[in-house]
Amino acid sequence: MSQKDEIQAIAVELASGLKKLGPNRTVALSVHVSKELIADLETKANILIQKASALNS
């Protein structure tokens, strides 16, 4: 998988996770699940930042 494909896949995962937290979600998440999801999204966002920075170097 190329660097560009990895970045795109992470961006899709971030969008999906944010949709689960958004106002138009179909299922209410428990506080515990919400906190886990937010932690996971923060990790993915940091990975995305690192990969994007590596592309610009």
Q: First and final CA of the chain: distance in angstroms?
A: 19
Instruction: Kindly give the residue spans of alpha helices, DSSP state H, lying in the chain.
Output: 3-21, 31-56
- Reported as a single tens digit per residue, the pLDDT across 1-57 is 788 899 999 999 999 999 999 998 888 899 999 999 999 999 999 999 999 898 887
- pTM, two decimal places: 0.85
Q: Per-domain residue ranges for the chain?
A: 28-57
Q: How far apart are CA 53 and CA 36, in angstroms?
A: 26
Give the Cβ contact number of residue 39 at 10 Å.
Answer: 10
Q: How far apart are CA 39 and CA 35, in angstroms?
A: 6
pLDDT at site 56: 81
pLDDT at site 25: 87
pLDDT at site 6: 93
pLDDT at site 26: 84
pLDDT at site 50: 94
